[in-house]
Amino acid sequence: MKSFYKSLATLILFFVGFLLFSSFELK
């Protein structure tokens, strides 16, 4: 179960990083 949360956190961090990157690219 701990590995599930670890992979979930990795996915969320990747998604947030992608959103930040796209927002900087649009400006």
pLDDT digits (tens, 9 = 90+) for 1-27: 789 999 999 999 999 999 999 998 876
pLDDT at 3: 95
Count of residues making up the chain = 27
pTM of the model: 0.60
- pLDDT value for 1: 77
Radius of gyration of the chain (CA): 12
